[in-house]
Amino acid sequence: MKEVKNILLVGVGGQGTILASRILTAGLIEAGYDVKMSEIHGMSQRGGSVSTQVRFGEKVDAPIIGKGQADVIVAFEKMEALRALPYLKKGGKMVVNDFEIPSMPILSGTAVYPEGILEELSAKADVLSFEAAQIAADLGNPKAMNIVLLGALVKAMNVEGIDWNKAITDNVKKGFEELNIKAFEAGFAL
Amino acid sequence: MKVIMTGNEAVARGAYEAGLVFASAYPGTPSTEILETLAGYKDDLYSEWAPNEKVALEAAIGASVAGVRSMAAMKHVGVNVAADPLFTFAYTGVTGGLVLVSADDPGMHSSQNEQDNRNYATAARLLMLEPSDSQEAKDFMMLGLELSEKFNTPVLLRMTTRVCHSKSLVELGERKEVAPVPYVKNIKKFVATPANGKVMRADMVGRLRDMEEYACTAEINKPEYNGTEIGVISSGIAYQYAREVFGDDASYLKLGMTFPMPMKLLKEFASKVDKVYVVEEMDPYIENHLKMAGIECIGKEIIPEYDELNVDIVHEAVTGEKAETIEVEKEAVLRPPTLCAGCPHRGFFYALSKKKNLIITGDIGCYTLGSAPPLSALDTCFCMGASISTGHGASKALQRIGSDTKVVSLLGDSTFFHSGVTSLMDAVYNKGTNVSVILDNRITGMTGHQENPGSGYTLMGDPATEVDIPALCVALGMKKENIYIVNPNILEEVDKALDEAMAKDEATVIISKWPCILKKYSQEDKDNFDLSARKCVVDQEKCKKCKVCVGVACPAIRAGETVEIDALSCTGCGVCAQACPFDAIKEVR
């Protein structure tokens, strides 16, 4: 079978997974890959769990991936990393933002945010975790957290010959190019 | 040139390239972006939001009758609303080509059901096309308009969430203008009286036969013969999953056109392979056609007939092997969608949640999220516009059986325009007593901020005269003193209006008016509402950690050992500050 790589981006509605995946696909297309990407709009965008799936290779059929198939997962939120773990391929890599967003059952006191998530993940997979919000804040804007994570994801994907600066410049808001390129580089350097 | 596009963007692109002149739709996930994309081609074609799907399809029918290519787009349940004109239009046929896009939602990502709208093609006898990726979405849209004219029939372009919202590469072409068909009066064709209808119905049989013949040789139904052991018949997104599971050794009959079903082709394909698998999402639609023709196949006895499919599910169904996964011992807590921090619905729901002896009939929109704990302020949700009519029925029934339970019905502005107006007419005229609440957030919220007849702008960005909701209520026969307009961020105001309205023995309306917190504010919004930046903060000295504020269900409130308000997400609506019994939350500007 033709080799297809599977990338899963997970997070919470409103965290910027969509922009990160747009830049990711733009870079991959520019490099000549066939790319399919799938995301869900609508109700889940109101603070629910969200996921974007990106598949690339010589020829891609299905736009979504199943359990045990992701080569790399990037989680914008810690509990979402835990939820996504069954989708990781054995031997796959995980990039995890050390960042907690409690969900409504936790906020309303009917459940507690699970402890020891990073330990659990690290015991099961090759995990790189860091505080992306802090890194982005140090660069001048905590909202660039998503691009820091993208940088770390691209590093973990181990793909070469792609002009990421161009992909970023083409897809972010005017005036924010430099900040986002710096954020990407900071993530890539981790 | 190849660009990456969602299926929805590709449908719009196809319509544009094929010389489409008129498009109408009512927004609904996963179909919404089709018209939003078309609005970008406004120099070449006209597009609009209709108040509901029936109106959208009827307007598109009118454009077809007038001689141009047209389309309507809607989510699967929208086709239920549009079904009335649809069935008869299939009798009359078209002048300019007409495509109806139905975007189904297997897995119910953002819908109240997951009906399989391929059944509409059979029931109404519509030529049906099913794209499986963005390139096909564009190609089939263009082909659909051609086939509509060729066979004199409306065409159903049936999409699903994963086709609508997945992105893949699409080859772009140029727009080709199509000469309009000059209008010729034709009463026998377009006036569906019983006498004319009978002739049309008979004529339809011949058209269907021609369409079936086309389907048997069409390029989009071309079999791919590989090995003879296994033959797979599939359509739409399910084909992509099947392709990965069965690989290059199996033979495939990928059906791009699935009504009328190419029966001759199905028989021929089945005869050339030892074993036939049918891989399709939701109903056994293709499978039933095969079985009725006596063709043996393996289908729904192994492939689930509900929920969305994926490669995993198909793989496990076919091989019996589960995917190898990493075992996880810890469990992630559910993360259901919630009303946003600063959502104007929150204040209304919080005040409403305190009322007792009440049935709250709900509707389709963000406010369905008011049903979630801790607010739990919703008892029903069926379909667009149903809140007021189900509420009317419930309150009449309660009265008849001598119950003193009250009924409050609530729906959004766009949903009110969609089909709540006729429900309210019913309640007022028939002396109903339910309290109807219009949560007017100045936009269509859940689907991502589309203009509606109350927002003051059209899809193409032109200013328009807003529907005056209070005046409309009066025109429906409602007494002026029974119409309340409240600011939902002021709990006292909501509370008072609810108490007064519920005490009345007549139909009442409460209009809860404040713009959606995520909306890009118009100048009018800025003029009419105080939208200046503010935050709420907890005074830790005053806070008794009673956690009453948690009851407003705001995602910005973090209650652990201390209670904090997340400054990044808080918008300062102040609902929590009013809920706090110790005056421990302050508004900061």
**Cβ pair A110:B373 closer than 8 A:** yes
Q: In chain B, what residues touch A46 (CB-CB under 8 Å)?
A: 337-340, 366, 369, 446
Q: What local confidence, expressed as pLDDT, does residue B316 receive?
A: 95
| pLDDT tens track for A52-102 | 999 999 999 999 998 999 999 999 999 999 999 999 999 999 999 999 999
Nearest beta carbon to residue B168 from set A26, A63, A113: A63
- The segments of chain B whose pLDDT lies below 50 read none
Q: Do B94 and B134 fall into the same domain?
A: yes
Q: In chain B, what residues touch A63 (CB-CB under 8 Å)?
A: 133, 162, 166-168, 237, 240
Strand order in the sheet with B251-254: B223-224, B251-254, B230-234, B275-279
Domain limit, last residue, from B257, B286, B319: B319
Q: Do B196 and B241 fall into the same domain?
A: no
Q: What local confidence, expressed as pLDDT, does residue A108 receive?
A: 85
A116 touches chain B (CB under 8 A): yes
Q: What local confidence, expressed as pLDDT, does residue B17 receive?
A: 98
Q: How far are the Cα atoms of A39, A75, B382, B421, B511 from residue B365, in angstroms, in the given order? A: 20, 29, 11, 16, 16
Buried b (16+ CB within 10 A) or exposed e, B13-30: bbbbbbbbbbbbbbbbbb
Q: What local confidence, expressed as pLDDT, does residue A59 receive?
A: 93
In single-letter form, the type of residue at position B91 comes to Y
Number of separate domains in chain B: 4
Distance CA B318, CA B234 (A): 14
Q: Do B7 and B31 fall into the same domain?
A: yes
Q: Do B93 and B201 fall into the same domain?
A: yes
From the CA of B555, how many Å to the nearest CA of chain A? 7
Q: Do B83 and B205 fall into the same domain?
A: yes
Q: Please indicate, yes or no, if residue B520 is contained in any of the structural domains.
A: yes
Q: What angle do CA A156, A158, A162 make, to 5 degrees?
A: 115
Kindly tell me if the per-residue pLDDT of A1 is higher than 60: no
Q: Do B493 and B359 fall into the same domain?
A: yes
Distance CA B129, CA B136 (A): 10
**Cβ pair A114:B168 closer than 8 A:** no
Q: Do B201 and B272 fall into the same domain?
A: no
Which CATH number characterizes residue B543's domain? Answer: 3.30.70.20
**Which CB contacts under 8 angstroms, 24+ apart, belong to B53-56?**
B53/B25, B53/B26, B53/B28, B53/B78, B53/B79, B53/B81, B53/B82, B54/B81, B54/B82, B54/B84, B54/B85, B55/B24, B55/B26, B56/B24, B56/B25, B56/B26, B56/B82
Beta strand pairing call for B166-171 and A34-39: antiparallel
Hey, how many other C-beta atoms are within 10 angstroms of the C-beta on B382?
A: 15
- Cβ(B437)–Cβ(B498) under 8 Å? no
Burial of B335 (0-12, 13-18, 19+ CB in 10 A): buried
The two structure tokens encoding residue B256:
């791009």
The two structure tokens encoding residue B131:
């794209």
Q: How many Cα atoms occupy the beta-carbon half-sphere of B334 within 13 Å?
A: 11
- Cβ(A102)–Cβ(B355) under 8 Å? no
Q: Do B357 and B268 fall into the same domain?
A: no
**Cβ pair B30:A42 closer than 8 A:** yes
| B262 phi/psi in degrees, rounded to 5 | -75, 80
Q: Please indicate, yes or no, if residue B12 is contained in any of the structural domains.
A: yes
**Mean pLDDT, chain A, as a whole number?**
93
Distance CA A164, CA B533 (A): 36
The ipTM of this complex is 0.93
What average pLDDT does range A120-148 have in this prediction? 95
Q: What local confidence, expressed as pLDDT, does residue A46 receive?
A: 77
B143, B166, B305: which is closest to B237 by C-alpha? B166
**Cβ pair A108:B335 closer than 8 A:** no
Q: Do B292 and B352 fall into the same domain?
A: no
Distance CA B581, CA B576 (A): 10
Q: Please indicate, yes or no, if residue B329 is contained in any of the structural domains.
A: no
Q: In chain A, what residues touch B171 (CB-CB under 8 Å)?
A: none
A15 touches chain B (CB under 8 A): no
Distance CA A66, CA A56 (A): 15
Q: How far are the Cα atoms of B263, B338, B443, B534 from residue B571, in angstroms, in the given order? A: 60, 15, 19, 6
- Cβ neighbours for B206, distance < 8 A, ≥ 6 positions apart: none
**Cβ pair A1:B447 closer than 8 A:** no
The pLDDT confidence band at residue A14, using thresholds 50, 70 and 90, is confident
**DSSP secondary structure letter of residue B183:** P
Unique residue bearing structure tokens 């891989």: B279
Rounded (10°) angle between helices B236-246 and B311-319: 50
Q: What is the CA radius of gyration of chain A?
A: 16
**Cβ pair A63:B166 closer than 8 A:** yes
Strand order in the sheet with B406-412: B358-361, B406-412, B435-440, B508-513, B483-486
Q: Do B174 and B238 fall into the same domain?
A: no
Domain limit, last residue, from B528, B554, B579: B528
Q: Do B377 and B448 fall into the same domain?
A: yes
A16 touches chain B (CB under 8 A): no
Distance CA B236, CA B160 (A): 8
Q: CATH: 3.90.226.10, 3.40.920.10, 1.10.357.10, 2.60.40.10. Which one for A5-188?
A: 3.40.920.10
Nearest CA in chain A to B558: A107
The two structure tokens encoding residue B481:
């003193």
Distance CA B357, CA B72 (A): 43
Q: What is the CA radius of gyration of chain B?
A: 27
| pLDDT tens track for B496-525 | 999 999 999 999 999 999 999 999 999 999
B466, B371, B452: which is closest to B419 by C-alpha? B452
From the CA of B250, how many Å to the nearest CA of chain A? 13
Domain limit, last residue, from B501, B528, B555: B528
Distance CA A182, CA A161 (A): 19
Unique residue bearing structure tokens 């259901």: B336
Q: What local confidence, expressed as pLDDT, does residue A16 receive?
A: 87
**Cβ pair B373:A12 closer than 8 A:** no
A36 touches chain B (CB under 8 A): yes
Q: What local confidence, expressed as pLDDT, does residue B159 receive?
A: 98
Kindly tell me if the per-residue pLDDT of A40 is higher than 90: no
A54 touches chain B (CB under 8 A): no
Q: Do B315 and B243 fall into the same domain?
A: yes
Domain interval for residue B390: 344-528
Q: What local confidence, expressed as pLDDT, does residue A44 receive?
A: 66
Q: Find how far residue B237's CA is from the centre of its chain.
A: 19
Q: In chain A, what residues touch B372 (CB-CB under 8 Å)?
A: 104
Buried b (16+ CB within 10 A) or exposed e, B181-212: beeeeeeebbeeeeebeeebeeebeebbeebb
**Cβ pair B333:A105 closer than 8 A:** yes
Cis-peptide, bond into residue B131, ω within 30° of zero = no
- Cβ neighbours for B311, distance < 8 A, ≥ 6 positions apart: A62, A64, A65, A66, A69, B241, B244, B245
B70, B78, B72: which is closest to B28 by C-alpha? B78
